[in-house]
């Protein structure tokens, strides 16, 4: 292909992409934000209620234990919702409001575990369980290590 032809094709593709973009329907930003806010907010309110309930029922629990128990409960609920097949229905509306909280992580892992069960517990579920959450885990560790190093350097230099 000559340089001239390549140029022409690139120009044609650019024109076409522009045209496609102009006719492609967009997701409404405002509605999406609102839905994410409401669903994410409701998730957090429910978690807070569980936490408050726990500390009222079991006053001897430390705050740290209350938050751990709350996370465990809300994660289990999300996994049950995934298994019964309605987490994805909520998430279709919730968007970031349902995948950002800890429930989203639970859904991503349990949905993969369920999906690949057909290839067996070892080669299916165990191998593929992290297909969706893998990037979250890897980046979580890498960037928190990076943050730790920065924090350490700040302490060395400024002494705080």
With respect to another protein, which residue has the nearer C-beta, 24 or 60? 24
Shortest reach from residue 10's CB to another protein, in Å: 8
Question: Is there a contact between 3 and 64 (Cβ–Cβ < 8 Å)?
Answer: no
Q: CB of 70 within 8 A of CB of 54?
A: yes
Whichever of 21 and 63 has its CB closer to another protein, that residue is 21
Scanning the structure block, which residue is given the tokens 């967009």?
26
Which residues form the interface with another protein (CB under 8 A)? Answer: 10, 12-14, 16-17, 19-20, 23-27, 32, 82-83, 85, 87-88, 90-92, 94-95, 98-99, 104, 107-108, 110-112, 114-116, 118, 131-132
Q: Which is nearer to another protein, 17 or 76 (CB)?
A: 17
Nearer to another protein, 55 or 111 (CB): 111
């Amino acid at each position: 292909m000559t340089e001239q032809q390549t140029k022409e094709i690139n120009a044609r593709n650019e024109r076409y992409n522009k045209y496609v973009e102009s006719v492609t329907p967009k997701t409404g930003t405002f509605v999406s934000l609102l839905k994410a806010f409401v669903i994410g907010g409701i998730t957090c309110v429910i978690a807070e209620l569980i936490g408050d309930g726990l500390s009222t029922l079991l006053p001897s629990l430390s705050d740290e234990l209350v938050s751990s128990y709350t996370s465990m409960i809300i994660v289990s609920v999300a996994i049950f919702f995934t298994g019964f097949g309605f987490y994805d229905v909520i998430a279709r509306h919730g968007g970031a409001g349902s995948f950002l909280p800890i429930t989203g992580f639970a859904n991503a892992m349990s949905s993969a575990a369920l999906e690949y069960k057909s290839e067996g517990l070892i080669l299916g579920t165990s191998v593929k369980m992290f297909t969706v959450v893998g990037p979250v885990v890897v980046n979580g560790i890498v960037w928190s290590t990076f943050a730790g190093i920065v924090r350490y350097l700040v302490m060395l230099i400024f002494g705080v």
